[in-house]
């Protein structure tokens, strides 16, 4: 019988990025399975004496941080976290698409508030050019109008439906999520600006200001890229 010591690339990236958090820092805690490894690693370090405060980006990260002994705070109390660590659905040239977990609005607020924004992902998320559908958090009242505006920008938006929940996904903020397919996104900055101008979109999942990327590889190594 072979014993498996396979290293999970998401775990490798998440755990290594957690080492960027130093004593007395305030850290933005992203959402998703890769960041979960970072949060659990931070929990272990807290148990060994590290003193930090975490700003959660979702109920998921708040629950996980609390379970792992990480004291939570808010942006009201700590408006400029030292660092934010978060996952991505796709990353290319220090731009990312996020929102696979419907948490991108708070994730973007925390990422933009922080001094440094670190993306953690496995190598399957890396692309030459972004082409993943862009999650849009949308006021339910504006669903049809947003779909029309997305079509005018050359995209096609569909309402994300729940799994183990009938009907649409509802975000932590009480809104719908539309996934908007634009094909290849050659100019993420332009699409960022155009989507930010659409009436009814609370926030979209294009992140154009990534400072550091940790990419976990199948062999257990982690590639670190700094902008
Ligand atoms: C949640 C996100 C996640 O960070 C993104 O979906 C990546 O998730 P995972 O690390 O599970 O692959 O943006 O809204």
Q: For residue 14, is it within any domain? A: yes
pLDDT at 1 exceeding the cut of 70: no
| Angstrom distances, CA of residue 133 to CA of 88, 98, 182, 184 | 12, 10, 7, 9
pLDDT at 19 exceeding the cut of 90: yes
pLDDT at 184 exceeding the cut of 80: yes
Answer yes or no: is the C-beta of 135 below 6 A from any ligand 1 atom. Answer: no
- Give me the number of domains the chain comprises: 2
Answer yes or no: is the C-beta of 33 below 6 A from any ligand 1 atom. Answer: yes
Rounded to an integer, what is the distance from CA 71 to the centroid of its chain? 20
- Classified as helix, coil or strand, 133 is coil
Answer yes or no: is the C-beta of 89 below 6 A from any ligand 1 atom. Answer: yes
Q: Which domain holds residue 42?
A: 9-126+208-226
* Catalytic (active site) residue 107: yes
User: Where do the H-state alpha helices sit in the chain?
Assistant: 9-18, 33-47, 59-67, 104-113, 143-152, 188-196
pLDDT average, residue stretch 51-80: 98
Are 101 and 139 contained in the same domain?
Answer: no
Nearest-atom number in ligand 1 for the CA of 35 is 10
Q: For residue 24, is it within any domain? A: yes
pLDDT at 63 exceeding the cut of 70: yes
Out of 64, 89, 136, mutate this one to test ligand 1's pocket (max ligand atoms within 8 Å of CB): namely: 89
Give the per-residue pLDDT at 7.
80
Residue whose token pair is 């400072």? 211
pLDDT at 151 exceeding the cut of 70: yes
Q: For residue 1, is it within any domain? A: no
pTM > 0.85: yes or no: yes
Give the per-residue pLDDT at 2.
44
């Amino acid at each position: 019988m072979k014993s498996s010591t396979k290293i999970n690339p998401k775990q490798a990236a998440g755990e290594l990025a957690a080492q960027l958090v130093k004593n007395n820092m305030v850290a933005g805690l992203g959402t998703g399975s890769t960041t979960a490894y970072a949060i659990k690693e931070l929990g272990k370090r807290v148990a060994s004496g590290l003193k930090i405060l975490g700003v959660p980006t979702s109920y998921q990260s708040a629950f996980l941080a609390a379970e792992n002994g990480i004291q939570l705070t808010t942006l009201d109390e700590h408006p400029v976290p030292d660092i934010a660590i978060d996952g991505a659905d796709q990353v290319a040239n220090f731009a990312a698409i996020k929102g696979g977990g419907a948490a991108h609005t708070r994730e973007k607020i925390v990422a933009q508030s922080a001094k440094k924004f670190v993306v953690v992902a496995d190598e399957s998320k890396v692309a030459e050019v972004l082409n993943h559908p862009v999650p849009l958090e949308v006021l339910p009242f504006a669903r049809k109008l947003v779909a029309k505006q997305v079509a005018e920008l050359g995209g096609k938006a569909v309402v994300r439906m729940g799994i183990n929940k009938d009907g649409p996904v509802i975000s932590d903020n009480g809104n719908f999520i539309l996934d908007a397919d634009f094909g290849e996104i050659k100019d993420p900055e332009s699409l960022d600006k155009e989507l930010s101008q659409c009436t009814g979109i609370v926030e979209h999942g294009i992140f154009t200001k990534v400072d550091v990327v940790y990419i976990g590889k199948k062999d257990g190594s982690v590639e670190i890229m700094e902008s």
